[in-house]
Amino acid sequence: MHAYFDNHPTDRRLPHITNPARPVSAETLAKLGVLSVASERGYENRDVINVSREGMGSVYEEKIRDLFEEHMHEDKEIRYVLSGSGFLIFPLHLVLKLSFMVKTPTDAWIRIAVTSGDLLVLRAGIYHRFTLDTKVGTQNNGTATGSTAEH
């Protein structure tokens, strides 16, 4: 998994890697509530989401727009990427708040490049957005303690 700071207004499907690169450490992601390994926690719900034109049919464009809107889930969310690739994106103000740094507000984002085999756990209430990259689509298996999302 590759995570880094991002604040590019260009095509959201592109990597947006800055020069010089500004990586985000696994420790910072852990402080945000993003875990790279799930433990046994008794999750009740499971779904498989095929984020592609073939998998979503006529609602594909609408769903892609919805996923890119900043949103949060009331329950913890686990996502395992079965195939494809994309980007999970968090606002920088979460990092500043959780690390107790006092800085002026910023519009920067953290971007995590996710690919086949990546497993992420997002704590309940963490705002994020998702987009595909320039490849065809992604399929992921998700589990959560509930199924409520706020967009």
**CATH code (residue 66):** 2.60.120.10
Counting the structural domains of the chain, the total is 1
17, pLDDT greater than 60: yes
Which alpha helices (DSSP H) does the chain contain, by range?
26-32, 53-56, 60-68, 92-98
Confidence of residue 62 (pLDDT cuts 50, 70, 90): very high
- The residue among 41, 11, 5, 35 whose CA lies nearest residue 23 is 5
Spatial distance between the Cα atoms of 94 and 103, rounded to a whole number of angstroms: 12
pLDDT in tens, 92-131: 665 444 433 333 345 677 888 888 878 777 878 888 888 8
Confidence of residue 59 (pLDDT cuts 50, 70, 90): very high
- pLDDT in the model for residue 43: 58
Provide the domain limits for residue 102.
Answer: 2-7+15-150
Q: 104: which residues sit within 8 A by CB, 6+ positions away?
A: none
- pLDDT in the model for residue 58: 94
Spatial distance between the Cα atoms of 32 and 23, rounded to a whole number of angstroms: 15
- Token pair, residue 13, equals 């499907």
Spatial distance between the Cα atoms of 65 and 70, rounded to a whole number of angstroms: 10
Task: Please give the mean pLDDT across all residues of the chain.
Answer: 71
pTM over 0.75: no
